[in-house]
């Protein structure tokens, strides 16, 4: 029980430090906002290590973080090949195609009442379809390589991006549009100078939602057919062969990729929509 006792003591100490930092007058400063989640995450890892070692949990059920870290270091070539296949080829290409086509479709819908009444209800219907029902069909259409995973990602990200962009284009009120009309501004000028800037918070909301869906879609699609590489393929085969440490290493890579992807979109959003109230007061 030595490992378990040490882990519990460390976790309680880290909890007390976090509570003290949260109650201090420096709680809203950037260093404290960075330290608190890092300390909390570190304490969970230590508690995880202590529970596994102290209770003698089999690594087939739950490997210790140190074992996962060792597997991560010794399997970087496999992890990189899987990352390239799933994230760089499948998720990112599908994300770019899906978001760009949704953005163009939103502008077309904004110009056409027929498309507004016809396409948006269909979009809501398709968005509600489960990925496990769509993925096998798209894999059979586009093959087992990354193209079918990109197709699944396109379907998953298209309609959240479309709905958010359409809503953003409707954000300007009649007075603002009338003002542009008094300046003899045409549709394109009004779109680029008024409506698209006003829609940017909604556009980036769609991009952030799509960023989380893209990686999920690419990984899940690999369960239904994949070459001998890819995160979903490796997780599926790793569970079957009881290589749970490699499975957790893949999950760690996926978490890093997803967090980095979402963070990059959020940073771009902050630079583009610095004028919006949601961005004010952020360090």
Contact 205, 164 (CB under 8 A): yes
Instruction: Return the residue matching tokens 């070539």.
Output: 77
Whether the pLDDT of residue 1 is over 60: the answer is no
Two tokens, residue 144:
């087992």
Predicted confidence at residue 2, as pLDDT, reads: 79
Tens of pLDDT, residues 92-148: 999 999 999 999 988 888 777 666 666 767 767 776 777 777 888 888 888 778 888
Contact 63, 219 (CB under 8 A): no
Tens of pLDDT, residues 242-266: 888 899 999 999 999 999 999 899 8
Q: How far is CA 225 from CA 116, 220, 230, 262, in A?
A: 36, 10, 10, 27
Highest mean pLDDT among 18-27, 89-98, 215-224, 233-242: 89-98
How far apart are the C-alpha atoms of 142 and 156, rounded to whole Å?
Answer: 16
């Amino acid at each position: 029980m030595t490992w378990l006792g040490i882990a519990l003591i460390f976790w309680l100490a880290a909890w007390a430090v976090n509570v003290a930092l949260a109650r201090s007058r420096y709680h809203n400063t950037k260093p404290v906002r960075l330290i608190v989640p890092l300390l909390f995450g570190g304490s969970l890892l230590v508690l995880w290590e202590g529970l596994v070692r102290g209770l003698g949990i089999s690594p087939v059920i739950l490997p210790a973080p140190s074992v996962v870290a060792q597997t991560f270091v010794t399997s970087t070539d496999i992890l990189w090949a899987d990352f390239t296949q799933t994230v760089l080829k499948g998720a990112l290409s599908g994300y770019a195609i899906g978001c760009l086509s949704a953005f163009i479709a939103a502008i077309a819908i904004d110009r056409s009442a027929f498309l507004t009444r016809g396409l948006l209800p269909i979009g809501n219907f398709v968005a509600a379809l489960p990925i496990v029902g769509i993925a096998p069909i798209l894999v059979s259409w586009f093959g087992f390589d990354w193209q079918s995973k990109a197709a699944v990602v396109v379907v998953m990200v298209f309609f959240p991006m479309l709905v958010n962009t359409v809503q953003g284009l409707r954000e300007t009120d009649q007075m603002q549009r009338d003002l542009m009309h008094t300046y003899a501004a045409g549709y394109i000028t009004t779109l680029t100078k008024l409506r698209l800037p006003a829609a940017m918070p909604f556009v980036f909301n769609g991009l952030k939602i799509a960023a989380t869906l893209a990686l999920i879609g690419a990984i899940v699609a690999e369960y239904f057919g994949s070459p001998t590489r890819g995160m979903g393929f490796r997780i599926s085969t790793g569970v079957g062969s009881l290589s749970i440490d490699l499975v957790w290493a893949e999950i760690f890579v996926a978490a890093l990729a997803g967090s980095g992807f979402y963070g990059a979109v959020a940073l771009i959003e902050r630079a583009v929509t610095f004028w919006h109230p949601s961005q004010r007061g952020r360090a």
